[in-house]
């Protein structure tokens, strides 16, 4: 059989695996998988909603036998028990090291299916096929895989690079507006941490997204821009020992808010609130340009995301949750903090700063509805 054709070149990013990001990229899935992760069998892991939309198309394109494994949608499904169920299902199917996992879905599926691939028989290939804006610009690139625990989000996991990432912006047309807005939070974050011109381009895009959603002009180009920013950071620090911590801007507070709200809000909404609070912290410590939190809050507001924390949430509970963050040391939460748009505090190469609870409490109080 002649080799299948890959119709588009991957993005130019400093990673060991190709990242495809073009309208219609899914049409090349079979050829990309054949070139990067050919296997005897393919385990397509998805959630029930996404599977109903895209699983048949993906399975038809795969160059070999496949089986679909689904879970209900939602962050509350990203658990150790779901991981165990999926790995047991792979064993029952008699999957082996000649099996490739296809992670078809949003960030929950990317994290969970990636962790299944990282741990099954000590590691099998995974191809990430993100289907949400958030997962395209964040979870699918970088090799982080994990599940949540009662003690916090993403606390049990592994670094496991995909064999390839296939992003097709055309898939975003199926998303409801709130899912598009959730992804915009991570894109705003990328501008804050690394690129002021990208931040400005995001601001220019927001009215078009509000009017046209996933059909907005330049959305695909800006997705690629976000991927390039994240890839450059990951290439410098693949295991989050230093620079990669800047990608956690907004996430120390954001993850705590998610946990305290029992994952009832979108990840991007939590990150949006987290970015504003953490910029307030940076200003309070004298690290950030005065007014930076207001600039970020304006971008968040224009994206249709929340700028204030619900009053029902306890500051004490949020702060307690931050102590379990992966960046915490000796019981003190550390924060990746911005200095200005496009620049983060290096903290002498540590890229995160210990912050006392009183400072965090004052910043939270400034952002309570």
> Which runs of E-coded beta strand occur in the chain?
19-21, 41-47, 65-71, 99-105, 126-130, 144-149, 152-159, 164-167, 334-335, 338-340, 343-344, 353-354
343 is catalytic: no
Catalytic: which of 34, 75, 77, 240?
240
Distance CA 129, CA 109 (A): 10
Is 85 one of the annotated active-site residues of the chain?
no
Q: What is the DSSP pairing of strand 353-354 with strand 334-335?
A: antiparallel
Q: State the catalytic residue, choosing from 248, 258, 260, 334.
A: 248
Q: Which residues pair with 66 in a beta bridge?
A: 42
Looking at 186, 258, 269, 278, which residue is catalytic?
Answer: 186
22, 78, 82, 144: the active-site residue: 144
- Verify whether residue 244 is a known catalytic residue: yes
Among residues 160, 181, 189, 267, the one annotated as catalytic is 267
78, 153, 230, 259: the catalytic one is 230
Catalytic status, residue 186: yes
Q: Is 327 a catalytic residue?
A: no
Q: Is 144 a catalytic residue?
A: yes
List 78, 251, 259, 367, catalytic entry: 251
One of 22, 255, 259, 367 is an active-site residue; which one? 255
Q: Are strands 152-159 and 144-149 parallel, antiparallel or unpaired?
A: antiparallel
Query: Which two three-digit tokens encode residue 47?
Result: 């959630």
Q: Which residues pair with 127 in a beta bridge?
A: 102, 164
Give the 3-state secondary structure percentages of the chain, helix then strand then coil, rounded to 5: 50, 15, 30
Nearest to 58 by CA among 36, 300, 67: 67
- Is 27 a known active-site residue? no
248 is catalytic: yes
Give the tokens for residue 286: 């004298």
Is 160 a catalytic site residue?
A: no
Cα–Cα distances (Å) from 339 to 105, 246, 298, in that order, read: 34, 12, 17
Asked if 122 is an active-site residue, the reply is yes
From 82, 244, 327, 367, active-site residue: 244
Catalytic residue list: 122, 144, 186, 230, 240, 244, 248, 251, 255, 267
């Amino acid at each position: 059989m002649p080799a299948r054709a890959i119709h588009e070149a991957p993005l130019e990013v400093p990673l060991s695996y190709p990242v495809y990001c073009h309208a219609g990229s899914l049409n090349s899935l079979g050829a990309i998988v054949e070139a990067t992760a050919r296997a005897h069998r393919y385990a397509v892991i998805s959630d029930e909603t996404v599977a109903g939309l895209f699983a048949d198309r993906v399975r038809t394109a795969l160059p070999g036998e496949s089986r679909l494994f689904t879970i209900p949608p939602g962050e509350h499904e990203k658990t150790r028990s779901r991981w165990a169920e999926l790995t047991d299902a792979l064993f029952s199917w008699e999957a082996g090291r000649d099996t490739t996992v296809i992670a078809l879905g949003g960030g929950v599926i990317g994290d969970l299916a990636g962790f299944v691939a990282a741990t099954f028989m000590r590691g099998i290939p995974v191809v990430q096929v993100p289907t949400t804006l958030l997962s395209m610009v964040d979870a699918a690139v970088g090799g982080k895989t994990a599940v949540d625990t009662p003690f916090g989000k993403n606390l049990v996991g592994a670094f496991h690079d995909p064999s390839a990432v296939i992003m097709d912006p055309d898939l975003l047309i199926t998303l409801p507006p709130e899912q598009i807005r959730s992804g915009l939070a991570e894109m705003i974050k990328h501008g804050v941490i690394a690129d002021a011109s990208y931040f400005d381009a995001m601001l220019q895009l927001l009215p078009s997204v509000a009017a046209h959603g996933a059909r907005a002009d330049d959305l695909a180009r800006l997705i690629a821009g976000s991927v390039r920013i994240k890839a450059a950071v990951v290439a410098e620090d693949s295991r989050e020992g230093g620079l990669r911590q800047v990608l956690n801007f907004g996430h120390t507070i954001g993850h705590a808010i998610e946990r305290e709200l029992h994952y009832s809000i979108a990840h991007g909404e939590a990150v949006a609130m987290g970015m504003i609070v953490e910029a307030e912290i940076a200003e309070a410590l004298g690290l950030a340009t005065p007014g930076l939190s207001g600039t970020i809050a304006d971008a968040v507001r224009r994206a249709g995301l929340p700028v204030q924390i619900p009053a029902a949430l306890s500051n004490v509970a949020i702060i307690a949750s931050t102590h379990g963050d992966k960046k915490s040391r000796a019981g003190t939460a550390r924060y990746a903090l911005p200095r200005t748009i496009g620049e983060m505090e290096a903290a002498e190469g540590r890229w995160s700063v210990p912050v006392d609870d009183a400072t965090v409490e004052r910043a939270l109080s400034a952002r309570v509805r």
